[in-house]
Amino acid sequence: MQEYRDRITLFRHTGSLELRNVSLRDAGDFTVTVIPAGGAQQRGNCKLDVHERITGVVLIPSATDLLESNNPVTMSCSTAAGSGLSFLWLNGSSEIKAGGRVRITDGGSKLTLTRVIRYDQRPFRCHVFNVISNGTSEPVNLFISYGPENIRLTTSPSLEYHMEGSNINLSCSAGSRPPAVFLWFLNGGPLPASGPELRLRNALDSQSGSYRCEAFNNKTTKSKTRRSTVTILGMSPVSRVEVKTNATEMFEFSGPVHLSCSSTGTSPSFRWLNGSSEVTESERVQITGGGSKLTVLNVTRYDLGPFRCHVFNLISNGTSGPVVLSVHCESQINFLPSETHRLRSPGVTWSFWFAVPLFLVCPPWPPGDRMRWTDSSLRCLNSSHHEEPPPPKKKYITKNMTIVGMKTTSLQAGGVLKLLGHFVFALQCRGQRLIVTHCYLKKIMSSQGAVSGA
């Protein structure tokens, strides 16, 4: 055959055939017949597959600028050379398989998306291979327009009321490709501003109203809006909050204590706090003066504070510094029955020594705390005979204790002395002052005359 001339050699002694410069046309089934000398004829068959190396892989889309969910797209893959081709489609690094909105036809060389979505924007590639070679196309990117959607409008600072003269920023955002164009409206009327942010500098109360942001996509021709109300008030903020009181040191169940709250700012409202709890009116608590004055009629150990005054108006708030009350607690002490003595000698001055056995019960402070006693805080302060006693000759204190001291007084002849002195001792219990009252005279010694029991 002419096409095999100079390309073929037959080796008769072996039955071999050599074919040179093989081309795709040489592919097919070959038959060999062998007739040995004096023997029977023999026939054999073989198949020759010829493959061409793959070159020039190209991917061509029907369109690249598409609208989400509206437009289909078809991509065709071809090669400049190659035979026995197989095709693999890739989106990014992921293989694309037929199914749903994806169709693969023409032996795998065509890919059709019946509708595109935004996630199809990753690069598409076509990979072609045969038994001897392979090749991949250059990436093709689709531009898929969508939105606007998920529109948001935020105001900074995020306040229900804004002070006149403040700076206010309104920011609008939306998911959109290409990026949305933003338009602004106030109470339905257009504003000259454009872009995703609207800035109000030195805002006036006349700029209060309903702000509307409109996001528009010029590819999809769709738009979305969002509204926000901004209220600007011509009032001054709260500042310089201060509390004044008529007393900070009280005995328990005494009073009243007056606390007065003052501040600068327009239209203030007041709230009183004792620690972290709000103070409300009760039988012994009065709140007057529009809330700015707090009166505690009968002070108890639970009124230690710290008291604070919280002042607020529509645009701001402030809290005073703490005011702490020192409330002194009175202990109840039981003594032996009182004694009444009559003087035998008239017109004399007596010096009395006394020893008072005490059992002190210090109330927990605050409730639930453990007691702590100290022996360095006892001193005689006053007496019911209106005379300042001399310093005690000896003083000491324990839980069960005896107070020893001296008292001097003048009495008329025939006078009656009820030995129930009214001495006041100051004690310390866990850092708080404790008032001990009703200490009576137990033993009496006279420098002149004698005293007999009644």
Global confidence as pTM: 0.50
**Of residues 56, 62, 212, the one with CA closest to residue 124:** 62
Q: What is the pLDDT of residue 200?
A: 95
> Percent of the chain scored above 70 by pLDDT?
72
Q: What local confidence, expressed as pLDDT, does residue 333 receive?
A: 36
Do the two domains 58-141 and 239-327 of this chain adopt the same fold?
Answer: yes
**pLDDT at residue 393, as a whole number:** 37
Q: Which strands make up the sheet holding 416-418, listed edge to edge? A: 416-418, 340-343, 451-453
When pLDDT is cut at 50, 70 and 90, the band that residue 34 belongs to is: confident
Domain boundaries, the chain: 2-48, 58-141, 161-233, 239-327, 332-453
Q: CA-to-CA distance for 402 and 396, rounded, in angstroms?
A: 7
Superfamily of domain 58-141: Immunoglobulins (2.60.40.10)
Is pLDDT of 203 > 80?
A: yes
Give whole-number Cα distances, 395 to 292, 401, 428, in Å: 47, 10, 14
How does DSSP classify residue 52?
-
What confidence score (pLDDT) does residue 414 get?
37
Each residue's pLDDT tens digit, 36-77: 777 788 888 888 888 889 999 999 999 999 999 888 999 999
Q: What is the mean pLDDT of residues 299-326?
A: 88
Pick the more confident residue, 125 or 378. Answer: 125
Per the prediction, the chain carries an average pLDDT of 76
Cα 9 from Cα 2, distance rounded (Å) = 14
Overall average pLDDT of the 176-185 stretch: 96
What per-residue confidence (pLDDT) applies to 71?
Answer: 86
Verify cis geometry, omega within 30 degrees of 0, for the bond prior to 190: no
In this prediction, residue 104 has a pLDDT band, given cuts at 50, 70 and 90, of very high
Q: What topology does CATH give the domain 239-327?
A: Immunoglobulin-like (2.60.40)
**Taking 70 as the threshold, does the pLDDT of residue 142 lie above it?**
yes
Helix-strand-coil percent breakdown of the chain, rounded to 5? 5, 50, 45
Q: Would the pLDDT of 390 be above 60?
A: no
Give the amino acid at 315.
I
What topology is assigned to 161-233 in CATH?
Immunoglobulin-like (2.60.40)
pLDDT at 125 over 70: yes
Could you give the angle at the alpha carbon of 224 between the alpha carbons of 223 and 228, nearest 5°? 145
pLDDT of residue 149: 95
